[in-house]
Amino acid sequence: MIKLHNLTKIYQAQGVETRALSEVDLTVKKGEFVSIMGPSGCGKTTLLNIIGLLDSYNEGLFVFNDTNVSDLSERQKLKLRKEKIGFVFQNFNLIDDLTVSENIELPLHYLGYAAQDRRQRVLEVLEMVGMGHRRDFFPYQLSGGQQQKVAVGRAIIAKPSLILADEPTGNLDSTQGNEIMEMLSRLNDQGTTLIMVTHSSHDASYSQRIVRIMDGQVVSEKKVLHAQF
Amino acid sequence: MPSSKFRFALRSLYRQKLYTLLNLGGLAIGLAVAITVSIYLNAEFNFDKHWPNYENIYRVNSSFYLNGTEEEYGGSGSGLASLMKEFYPEIEEATHFFSFENSVYFHSDSVKGYENELLVADANFFKVFNCHFLEGEADSSLTAERSIVISQSFARKYFGSKPALGQTLNTSNFEYQVRGVFEDIPDNTHHNFNAVISEPRVASDTLSLAVSLWQVSHYTFLKVPSALEAQNVEANFDQFFNRYMAGMADAVQAEYRVKLQQISDIHFNTNPGFDAIGGSLIYVYGFAGIGLLVLVLAIINYVNMATARSLRRIREAAMRKVLGASEGDIQLMILVESTILSLLALLLAFALVEIGTKVLPLTNAIDKDLQLNFKRDAYLWWLPLVLSIFVGIISGLYPALSLSKVSPLDAFSNKKGLQRQNNIPRKLLVGFQVAVSVTVVITAFFMYQQMDFIKNRNLGFNPNDVILITAQDTNSVMHLQEIRANIAQSDYVESVAMGASVTGRGAYRGIFEAETEANKGFQRHSLDFLRVSRDYLKTMQIDLLQGRSFLTEDEQDSSFSYAIVNQSLVEFMGWEQPIGKKLNTSFNERGEAMLKAVVVGVAEDFNAHSLHTKVGPLVLLLSKERSRVLHVKVDPNNIYVALDDLERRWTSMVPNAPFQFSFLSRDLLELYTEEMRQSRLILYLTIIAIFISILGFVGLASFTTGLRTREIGIRRLLGAGRLQMVNIVFKELLWVMLIGVLIAVPLAIHITQLWLANFAFHTEIKAPIIVGTAVITLLIGYGIVALHSLAIAKNNSVDSWRDA
């Protein structure tokens, strides 16, 4: 599904070059759950942004679903992103003025769904993430775990084939964190590809493979043994 | 989607109540001011355009030429209308009228009251002025003597809901028959009237009509088929002049011409002599300018605050982009929201106008009838509508463009607002606001000071404690001498004098022959004069410089007349020995002076006219004829007791005439009603401008401090004192305010000078006031910044730098 080869990202600020990513090779197959780990500033989030078609790269090859991303226009990238990719953030990024169901519904607006279809789909997703009883609440009325459930709901409403999660449990306590991780791995079981950036090896243990990055380079890849399941 | 957008917009407004109140309120006030000013302007620029065929109605203005100088009057002689109609076949209709200077006491069976705006007109009046008659026949309504035609509200006041036609109305002298009722005419009528009385029928031959042409006593109006005929009448006036006026012209060595003025043109172009009070283009443009400024202030403010607020939505915009929103989606969202907001402000503005014109005494304050009438003035809804949509788009434009360009990557960062460098245009706008507010405040201050100056100025006479008693009817005029003698006996009266008019409110003008110093015979001049009785100088406390006052013997002397002249006249004539000089006036058709006077005294100059006019040469003629106005100087400690006594004495002499009095000092203030109205209006607009500017500054201060929340937190952590932090933020805003003040000061001085130039006597522009205003402005700015910074500093500083 995703193939990166020799991918390099350089930031230039006031004449100083910083190599955020340096000749990264990475392949993610359809249905895989991959964790990306590494110290702060190693380039994890940059990598996630490039995979999410939010950021550009300077050199190398990036193939998404058999399409070379460098051949795509901005418009095509936008279309690909809204149809195929869902995002989950550490700080939830819900819109304060919208209710739970409106936040979840938002991607469907931009995909041009009819009102009837939107309502139907929102009800389904509310059930899936267990937030049906809070549908008319505003984000500030919810706990962190509840907000992240809403964010997951928003990420999956358009049935994306890929979900990108950036430290999804970083602002949550362990109980809430586990709930979110369970939810994500259920999605993965149902066939959604998942790439997650995390500091937590506990969270990483939910995935099938852990990619470690240091100073913009992939330093190791290892399979996770699911002995406990 | 539109309905949900509307819902979202309202919801976000509700959540930010203070912001909504300040921002919507500010724009609404600005729009309300603009709407009100536009109603006012519309009325001003459409004076007398409500008359059917107003393009064909002309007033005949008079120009007299004497010694090569021209004197212009809005009025003309009583014979002009009928003679011109007879002479020029192209004139369709002609009418003349005059208006009562004072209010008249009326009573019906059950109601009594004083009425203003009364005209006395000939029978053709309603043929030129097509009023809509509700009762009676327009054409025949003024043919009979002692007829009165009244307005609908006049009729309601005296007769209630009963028909007024055929009823009688009484004044102290006469009984009038109501011959018609017309629909009330709009306020924007130059010669406004509530009732028209038929003029007394006087049999007059052509000769007496011709003599009357030299005396300005009436307003003459003509109805002609088109402007061309009006030009012809004016161009061919020579023939009329030769036929009716040439003989007399030779005798008095004067010329006479007419100028035809279209009725809708009169309001802003009134005549210096004999005219109703008109409008002033300078003032009207002034109001338009201030109204526009307030609107621009409000719009700038609104755009500023809306922009500042929208830019806090960077994360939201970024997130929407991550979720698939295109640039267009974001732009549309912001524009729809801002337009909804501005439309809400418009609704609020209409409500404010309604409240302002119906509930608050705004209409009284500016003495104009302002009404929000969408049916009559369609522009009142579509113009503001277009404007607020425009404001909505303008205020949404910058946020829409900048937010749509936000990178979706910002969803991952912790940015909360835009960076500091984008702040400059906003600062400039706020600088502009400061400039406008300071200008308005300084200008308003000097306007107030000038009004104060007028109230307290030494006029050359003392109007305080002088009660004016005006004889309204012929009976009391006939007995005025006896009444004066009676009143003079009162213990509370210090002195009484008669006059033909109210002192300080203008003088008559006439042709005089004045004796020259070195026996070079007489010179003819057009001079101001007042007819007064003895004790006039004493009553008015006017200083005598030379000679003597009028004596009782002077009044009884039937062979000669006596005059006192002012100092300016002595200088004007170059008299070295003014006492004993001869003054002749009141010429007959053969050019012979009917009144010959000798100068017995010289008085100090005093303001016989309003302070708009410089003091010029003036003659006080001792009048042996009947006068109308008693000037009574009373004991200042017993004014009200004195009034009671005066009324008792008046009623004992003329029981049927109403006792009508006024205070001279208050009457004189009426000369400045236009200026008072302006300064009141300026006061309101000043308050509004200050309010809006403070809003704008609060917006900028909160924006600036908001951007520096993190910095403030860190500095606080490192031990900065509160005052130091306020100073850091204030330094950034100080130059904005300074530039505003620097622009404002010369502008304010210039505007103030323009305004003060309307007065021949005026106050000075004082530097301390300007400096004071500037300092207070800076202090207010400092206060606002302090409140904001301290509020941030009071919050837990750890939060502010960690999360900012």
CB contacts of B411 in chain A (<8 Å) are 87, 89, 93
CA distance A115 to chain B (A): 9
Inter-chain contact A107–B326, Cβ cutoff 8 Å?
no
Inter-chain contact B324–A45, Cβ cutoff 8 Å?
no
**Which residues have C-beta within 8 Å of that of residue B521, sequence separation ≥ 6?**
B515
Least confident range of A69-83, A136-150, B655-669: B655-669
Cα distances from B205 to residues B83, B89, B116, B216, B248, in angstroms, run 11, 21, 33, 18, 16
Least confident range of A98-112, A179-193, B28-42, B396-410: B396-410
> What is the 3-state secondary structure of chain A?
CEEEEEEEEEEEECCEEEEEEEEEEEEECCCCEEEEECCCCCCHHHHHHHHCCCCCCCEEEEEECCEEHHHCCHHHHHHHHHHHEEEECCCCCCCCCCCHHHHHHHHHHHHCCCHHHHHHHHHHHHHHHCCHHHCCCCHHHCCHHHHHHHHHHHHHCCCCCEEEEECCCCCCCHHHHHHHHHHHHHHHHCCCEEEEECCCHHHHCCCCEEEEEECCEEEEEEECCCCCC
Place of tokens 């003032």: B283
What does the DSSP 8-state code read for residue B422?
G
Least confident range of A129-133, A207-211, B250-254: B250-254
Beta-bridge partner residues of A3: A27, A63
Q: What is the mean pLDDT of chain A?
A: 89
Inter-chain contact A95–B12, Cβ cutoff 8 Å?
no
At B801, the pLDDT band (50, 70, 90 cuts) reads very low
Q: What is the pLDDT of residue B234?
A: 92
Report residue A14 as tokens.
């006031």
> In angstroms, how far is the first alpha carbon of chain B from the final one?
33
Cα nearest neighbour of B411 on chain A: A93
Mean predicted confidence (pLDDT) in B650-654: 88
Give the three-state DSSP class for B90.
coil
**Cα dihedral: B531, B532, B538, B539 (round 10):** -110
Least confident range of B77-81, B368-372, B665-669: B368-372
The whole-angstrom separation of Cα B231 and Cα A2 is 92
Closest to B470 (Cα-Cα) out of B642, B648, B609, B659: B659
Closest to B482 (Cα-Cα) out of B654, B622, B643, B642: B654
Least confident range of B82-86, B93-97, B522-526: B522-526
The whole-angstrom separation of Cα B187 and Cα B42 is 12
Strand spans (E) along B674-714: none
Report residue B509 as tokens.
């003008």
Q: What is the pLDDT of residue B270?
A: 86
Cα nearest neighbour of B412 on chain A: A89
Task: Name the percent of chain B lying above pLDDT 70.
Answer: 88
Place of tokens 């979706």: B408
Inform me whether the pLDDT recorded for A228 exceeds 50: no
- Cβ atoms < 10 Å from Cβ of B260: 21
- Cβ atoms < 10 Å from Cβ of B623: 19
Inter-chain contact B323–A154, Cβ cutoff 8 Å?
yes
Q: Is A52 on the interface with B (CB under 8 A)?
A: yes
CA distance A196 to chain B (A): 14
Q: What is the pLDDT of residue A78?
A: 86
Q: What is the pLDDT of residue B18?
A: 67
Inform me whether the pLDDT recorded for A194 exceeds 90: yes
At B222, the pLDDT band (50, 70, 90 cuts) reads very high
CA distance B408 to chain A (A): 6
Q: What is the pLDDT of residue B701?
A: 75
Mean predicted confidence (pLDDT) in A30-35: 94
Inter-chain contact B329–A89, Cβ cutoff 8 Å?
no
Query: Which residues in B161-175 are b (16+ Cβ under 10 Å) and which e?
Result: eeebbebebebbeee
Inform me whether the pLDDT recorded for B180 exceeds 90: yes
Asked whether this complex has an ipTM greater than 0.85, the answer is: no
Beta-bridge partner residues of A10: A19
Query: Which residues in B426-449 are b (16+ Cβ under 10 Å) and which e?
Result: bbebbbbbbbbbbbbbbbbbbbbb
Among the partner residues B11, B324, B409, nearest to A81 by beta-carbon distance: B324
**Which residues have C-beta within 8 Å of that of residue B410, sequence separation ≥ 6?**
B314, B315, B317, B318
Work out the burial of residue B36: count CB atoms within 10 Å of its CB; fewer than 13 is exposed, 13-18 middle, 19 or more buried.
buried
**What number of C-beta contacts closer than 8 Å exist between A and B?**
53
Give the three-state DSSP class for A13.
strand
CB contacts of A139 in chain B (<8 Å) are none
Q: What is the pLDDT of residue B401?
A: 86
Beta-bridge partner residues of A213: A218
Q: What is the pLDDT of residue B798?
A: 45
The whole-angstrom separation of Cα B345 and Cα B113 is 45
Q: What is the pLDDT of residue A162?
A: 95
The whole-angstrom separation of Cα B427 and Cα B732 is 10
Report residue A99 as tokens.
């209710």
Q: What is the pLDDT of residue B102?
A: 66
CB contacts of A91 in chain B (<8 Å) are 414
CA distance A67 to chain B (A): 19
- Geometric angle at alpha carbon B561, from B559 and B567, rounded to 5°: 155
What does the DSSP 8-state code read for residue B76?
B
The whole-angstrom separation of Cα B598 and Cα B448 is 44
What does the DSSP 8-state code read for residue B311?
G
Give the three-state DSSP class for B661.
strand
The whole-angstrom separation of Cα A155 and Cα A52 is 12
Cα A22 from chain centroid (whole Å): 22
Q: Give me the DSSP letters along B785-800.
A: HHHHHHHHHHS-HHHH
Inter-chain contact B323–A110, Cβ cutoff 8 Å?
yes
Inform me whether the pLDDT recorded for B366 exceeds 60: no
Q: Is B322 on the interface with A (CB under 8 A)?
A: yes
Inter-chain contact B324–A82, Cβ cutoff 8 Å?
yes
What does the DSSP 8-state code read for residue B398?
H
Q: In one letter, which amino acid is B235?
A: A
Closest to A118 (Cα-Cα) out of A58, A88, A158: A158
Report residue A179 as tokens.
């709930």
Give residue-wise pLDDT tens across range A37-95.
999 888 888 899 899 988 889 999 999 988 898 889 888 888 888 899 999 988 888 88
Inter-chain contact B411–A93, Cβ cutoff 8 Å?
yes
Bridge-based pairing of strands B522-532 and B112-115 is: unpaired
Q: What is the pLDDT of residue B230?
A: 92
CB contacts of B324 in chain A (<8 Å) are 78, 81-83, 107, 110-111, 158
The whole-angstrom separation of Cα B261 and Cα B251 is 29
Q: What is the pLDDT of residue B105?
A: 80
Q: How many residues does chain A have?
A: 229
At B531, the pLDDT band (50, 70, 90 cuts) reads confident
**Which residues have C-beta within 8 Å of that of residue A99, sequence separation ≥ 6?**
A135, A136, A137, A138
CB contacts of A111 in chain B (<8 Å) are 324
Biggest distance spanned by C-alpha atoms of chain A:
54
Chain A residues 120-179 with CB within 8 Å of chain B: 154, 158, 166
CB contacts of B315 in chain A (<8 Å) are 93
From edge to edge, which strands make up the β-sheet containing A85-88? Answer: A85-88, A162-166, A193-197, A33-37, A209-214, A217-223
Of the residues B20, B323, B406, B415, the best mutation for testing chain A's interface (the one with the most A CB atoms within 10 Å of its CB) is B323
**Which has more confidence, B458 or B635?**
B635
Bridge-based pairing of strands B493-499 and B593-603 is: unpaired
Give residue-wise pLDDT tens across range B743-797.
999 998 998 888 788 777 788 888 888 898 888 888 888 888 888 777 766 654 4
Cα B579 from chain centroid (whole Å): 43
Q: Is B323 on the interface with A (CB under 8 A)?
A: yes
Give residue-wise pLDDT tens across range A108-129.
988 888 989 999 999 999 999 9
Inter-chain contact A102–B4, Cβ cutoff 8 Å?
yes
Closest to B320 (Cα-Cα) out of A2, A97, A11: A97
At B364, the pLDDT band (50, 70, 90 cuts) reads low
Among the partner residues B4, B323, B407, nearest to A82 by beta-carbon distance: B323
Give the three-state DSSP class for B18.
helix
Inter-chain contact B407–A54, Cβ cutoff 8 Å?
yes
Q: What is the pLDDT of residue B184?
A: 92
Q: Say if residues B374 and B381 touch (Cβ distance below 8 Å).
A: yes
Inter-chain contact B329–A52, Cβ cutoff 8 Å?
no
Inter-chain contact A95–B325, Cβ cutoff 8 Å?
no
Q: How many residues does chain B have?
A: 804
Query: Which CATH architecture group holds A33-44+76-223?
Result: 3-Layer(aba) Sandwich (3.40)
Q: Is B412 on the interface with A (CB under 8 A)?
A: yes
The whole-angstrom separation of Cα B119 and Cα B148 is 10
Cα nearest neighbour of B4 on chain A: A102
Inter-chain contact B409–A54, Cβ cutoff 8 Å?
yes
Cα nearest neighbour of B321 on chain A: A78
Give residue-wise pLDDT tens across range B419-448.
444 567 677 777 887 888 888 888 888 877
Q: What is the pLDDT of residue B2?
A: 53
Of the residues A79, A81, A95, A99, the best mutation for testing chain B's interface (the one with the most B CB atoms within 10 Å of its CB) is A95
Q: Say if residues B18 and B157 touch (Cβ distance below 8 Å).
A: no
Q: What is the mean pLDDT of chain B?
A: 82
CB contacts of B310 in chain A (<8 Å) are none
CA distance B314 to chain A (A): 11
Beta-bridge partner residues of B593: B587
Report residue B264 as tokens.
């809708």
The whole-angstrom separation of Cα A189 and Cα A227 is 17
Strand spans (E) along B122-164: 133-135, 147-151
Q: Say if residues B526 and B509 touch (Cβ distance below 8 Å).
A: yes
Among the partner residues B8, B319, B326, nearest to A93 by beta-carbon distance: B319
Work out the burial of residue B656: count CB atoms within 10 Å of its CB; fewer than 13 is exposed, 13-18 middle, 19 or more buried.
exposed
At B654, the pLDDT band (50, 70, 90 cuts) reads confident
**Which residues have C-beta within 8 Å of that of residue B287, sequence separation ≥ 6?**
B37, B40, B41, B681
Among the partner residues B1, B316, B322, nearest to A87 by beta-carbon distance: B322
Chain A residues 197-226 with CB within 8 Å of chain B: none
Work out the burial of residue A222: count CB atoms within 10 Å of its CB; fewer than 13 is exposed, 13-18 middle, 19 or more buried.
exposed
Mean predicted confidence (pLDDT) in B216-220: 89
Over its C-alpha atoms, chain B yields an Rg (Å, rounded) of 34
Give the three-state DSSP class for A187.
helix
Report residue B417 as tokens.
């607002």
The whole-angstrom separation of Cα B753 and Cα B763 is 10
Q: In one letter, which amino acid is B30?
A: G
**Which has more confidence, B371 or B297?**
B297
Among the partner residues A97, A107, A166, nearest to B323 by beta-carbon distance: A107
CA distance B382 to chain A (A): 32
Q: Is B247 on the interface with A (CB under 8 A)?
A: no
Give the three-state DSSP class for B355.
helix
Beta-bridge partner residues of B663: B467
Give residue-wise pLDDT tens across range B446-499.
877 887 787 777 788 888 889 988 887 777 888 888 898 999 999 999 999 988
Of the residues A47, A93, A94, A156, the best mutation for testing chain B's interface (the one with the most B CB atoms within 10 Å of its CB) is A93
Cα nearest neighbour of B409 on chain A: A54
Among the partner residues A45, A54, A158, nearest to B322 by beta-carbon distance: A54
Place of tokens 């459930």: A149
Q: What is the pLDDT of residue B729?
A: 75
* Helical spans, DSSP H, in B708-763: 709-717, 722-756
Chain A residues 67-106 with CB within 8 Å of chain B: 78, 81-83, 87, 89, 91, 93, 95-98, 102, 106
Give residue-wise pLDDT tens across range B548-607.
999 888 888 777 789 999 999 999 999 999 999 999 887 766 667 788 899 999 999 998
Inform me whether the pLDDT recorded for A150 exceeds 50: yes
CA distance B337 to chain A (A): 13
